[in-house]
Amino acid sequence: MDLDEALKARKSVRAFKADPVPLSLVNEILELARHSPSGTNIQPWKVHVVAGDVRRQLEAEVLAHRDTKPADAVAEFPRTSKRKEPYTTRMRTLGKAMYGLIGIPKGDEAANWRQWGRNYQFFDAPVGLIFTIDKDLDAMSFLDIGIFMQSIMLAAKSRGLDTCSQGAWNNFWTVTRRVLSVPDDEYIICGMSLGYADETSPVNTLVAEREPVASFATFHGFE
């Protein structure tokens, strides 16, 4: 798969098959992703790769903790849930399409809660990635990690694997910190599911539409 194809074929997968992903393949992907650029080459990414018993422990403990409605149900670093247009509409369009495919009616809070909880099961993917960053780095380093994550997603896609980035993992960070021994001076900023897509699952038919170039690009100085 060439780069253009991988860019177009990558999509967030939210139902995975149980087929294991060998460590050698995960390493191959990380070997490629480490070539990602970063501001002043500080390479701020750190990633915990979880599988097997640790992945199961993380899932069980985070889900149990989540049911207690704890204080760490928000990220440890500043985030906002306030969105203005056009972002609100885009977000709602995605949510409506996704919950429609899963068959969750609007307003069914219990079903929403259960479905969002699937994030903490890595949507059944055999491998989960948890990205952390030193707390004393700034927004530019968050950009670096986003670039690193896209490298992972594209390398995975070109090897027949699928992914889903999961900001959901920046919640319930006390448990993730303890289970994975993440130092106190690092934020848990994102997670990612990695595995083989269950192509029979309706949720994986979701297409998140994109805006045309003209809606976001402003060209200057061209003849």
Ligand X SMILES: Cc1cc2nc3c(=O)[nH]c(=O)nc-3n(C[C@H](O)[C@H](O)[C@H](O)COP(=O)(O)O)c2cc1C
Q: Which residue ranges make up the site for ligand X (CB under 6 A)?
A: 11-12, 14, 94, 119, 164-168, 190, 208
Nearer to ligand X, 143 or 180 (CB): 143
Which residue, 14 or 48, has its beta carbon nearer to ligand X? 14
CA separation for the pair 153, 191 (Å, rounded): 12
Nearer to ligand X, 54 or 98 (CB): 98
Could you tell me the smallest distance in angstroms from the CB atom of residue 146 to ligand X? 7
Nearer to ligand X, 23 or 91 (CB): 91
Closer CB to ligand X, residue 62 or residue 164?
Answer: 164
Q: How far is the CB of 133 from ligand X (least distance, A)?
A: 13
Rounded to a whole number of angstroms, the minimum distance from the CB of residue 57 to ligand X is: 20
CB of 156 to ligand X, least distance (A): 12
Smallest distance, Å, CB 94 to ligand X?
5
